[in-house]
Structure 1
């Protein structure tokens, strides 16, 4: 493999995930738009963080904090942090508005306009994308190095998630905050947190972490897709990455989690332990393993719903 080929295989994104705590939607059309934007970005990109020694390829975790898009670059296998950059949305407001105006005009032209009108709108669309891409590259200078086509696709993803995101400022929110903790943040705790957000949309802040770092689990993606939850956007996190230190309720889901939570010294209205089996330890054929994951999902769904209902309704943290 030549030098250019080697660089192309390492200086690129292979995974893009969205933070389910700050970018949320239950509208399937919106989620579909996010998926298409992510697919297009991953299909062809040139991407590397500046001023770091880490070698690619890379994973990108996207969240929205206040008026900024957070571009969190991580290792694609271990999800260990490499670099994180805050990108203010303010300089992009006009371009984002124009993006949707021109997009709607393009769709309308496809349905009813003459070919020359479609071409005119398409030229305006390409011009907008180029302007936004150049601005994006300028704002990320000395932070993230991307080519023009990657910048165009990244801007499309930003447009896709930004207007529809249900953003909660956790620092000032009065919503109850719940933390689920397991060993690797790959199976039990992310499933529980996702089910909590689905059961109580916009009514609870549900986060999940692991004692140690883990990897994304394909069986989790599969069984959660069956109940309408996209877990491909999940990035494993560890306790030490937590910024928040105060939770109304902390629920541990693995044997090593209670001690780790105690060492972390979290402030919590209540801390309790749920003894649940880890389906990733089940041996057997694919159907047997999937059955174990479904059993976990369904038992957690019932338990999460029953446990959080009084908390979300303004009751006590006590079960």
Structure 2
């Protein structure tokens, strides 16, 4: 069933993050501007799980292998919802997009009308396939119609080849690591809240002293904020790619003891003594209330502590 949109459910502003999407080639910049113009000309978009009245602004950045789609208020730029969209499922389609686009331009210059039509049909087919995949990947995150998905895919294709990829080991962005016992509840919630509060402005990771399992209550309470935790997989400290962080935050006593024993370089290390909602033995409503309390406490701590870090202030 196609989503229903109000008249205000649309984008009126699209901006590109200058720190992660850069080019000095005027042709490339011109292509970005055309893609943005086409997207703004006709679109339907709304957050799927966050109650917000449009119109909306979209800020696009690239972090690692993900496009960050950061939906904001167009007047105040207040964050509404942000989603990390992995580029991996789109790699083939992006390659095909450029291959067929080049064939189309060549056909316009020298081919017969029937050849141009054949290439154009292939181009539309790629757009439609990519648009359906985009809508599927954004299901329960952002509601968009097929035409909007087509135009958004064009914009993604336009910016991603020329983007400055952010490598955790080389990035100038602030890096934060959250550590708890099993990377199931406290640390993944904190990292997700950090990415949600400062999309494209920092790199936030989470690990556990030991490996755990994904927690359904985490998914439920984070979904209330429009944050998708269904893709979270618990990891241990041994799986870390980066070895240096601007800030390491421990969220459990065993993590507090384990971090100094590991060869992790940190400009600052802090311990946040927060409760463990998995220890609550009660009915579902009481348990959910404990998870919400943890979420809200971590949200306040994340905003207060990381705002100066993101703005270039002290780590201490």
Which residue of the partner structure matches residue 25 of structure 1? 69
TM-superposed deviation, 1:98:
6.7
- Alpha-carbon distance between aligned partners in 1 of 2:170 and 2:99, rounded to the nearest angstrom: 31
Deviation string 1:104-152 (CA, Å, 9 cap, x unpaired) is xxxxxxxxxxxxx9xx9599738x97xxxxxxxxxxxxxxxxxxxxxxx
- Alpha-carbon distance between aligned partners in 2 of 1:184 and 1:211, rounded to the nearest angstrom: 6
Which residue of the partner structure matches residue 194 of structure 1? 192
- Alpha-carbon distance between aligned partners in 1 of 2:244 and 2:84, rounded to the nearest angstrom: 34
- Give the alignment's Cα RMSD to 1 decimal: 3.9
Which residue of the partner structure matches residue 222 of structure 1? 220
Q: How does 1:26-45 map to 2 (within 5 A)?
A: 26-27=70-71
Long gaps (5+) in structure 2: 1-62, 73-80, 103-116, 130-152
Asked whether the equivalents of residues 99 and 125 of structure 1 are also in contact (C-alpha less than 8 Å), the reply is: no
1:204 aligned to 2:205? no
- Alpha-carbon distance between aligned partners in 2 of 1:121 and 1:189, rounded to the nearest angstrom: 48
Which residue of the partner structure matches residue 279 of structure 1? 277
Q: Please give the TM-score of this superposition, normalised by the length of structure 1.
A: 0.55
- Alpha-carbon distance between aligned partners in 1 of 2:178 and 2:171, rounded to the nearest angstrom: 19
**SS of equivalent residue, structure 1 residue 209:** strand
Which residue of the partner structure matches residue 297 of structure 1? 295
Which residue of the partner structure matches residue 8 of structure 2? none
Asked whether the equivalents of residues 212 and 238 of structure 1 are also in contact (C-alpha less than 8 Å), the reply is: yes
1:125 aligned to 2:169? no
Deviation string 1:144-193 (CA, Å, 9 cap, x unpaired) is xxxxxxxxxxxxxxx89x75889522232111100000011111001001
- Alpha-carbon distance between aligned partners in 2 of 1:299 and 1:272, rounded to the nearest angstrom: 16
- Alpha-carbon distance between aligned partners in 2 of 1:191 and 1:100, rounded to the nearest angstrom: 42
- Alpha-carbon distance between aligned partners in 1 of 2:100 and 2:213, rounded to the nearest angstrom: 35
Long gaps (5+) in structure 1: 1-19, 35-62, 72-86, 102-116, 130-158
Q: Indicate how the Cα distance of structure 1 residues 269 and 31 shifts in structure 2: closer, same or farther if over 3 A, else same.
A: closer
**SS of equivalent residue, structure 1 residue 25:** strand
Q: Please give the TM-score of this superposition, normalised by the length of structure 2.
A: 0.55
TM-superposed deviation, 1:282:
0.9
**SS of equivalent residue, structure 1 residue 276:** coil
Q: Indicate how the Cα distance of structure 1 residues 97 and 282 shifts in structure 2: closer, same or farther if over 3 A, else same.
A: farther
- Alpha-carbon distance between aligned partners in 2 of 1:98 and 1:226, rounded to the nearest angstrom: 41
Which residue of the partner structure matches residue 94 of structure 1? 95
**SS of equivalent residue, structure 1 residue 290:** helix
TM-superposed deviation, 1:216:
0.9
Q: Paired residues, what number?
A: 204
Asked whether the equivalents of residues 210 and 237 of structure 1 are also in contact (C-alpha less than 8 Å), the reply is: yes
Q: How does 1:1-319 map to 2 (within 5 A)?
A: 22-23=65-66, 24-27=68-71, 69=88, 89=91, 93-97=94-98, 121=121, 125=125, 163=157, 168-318=166-316
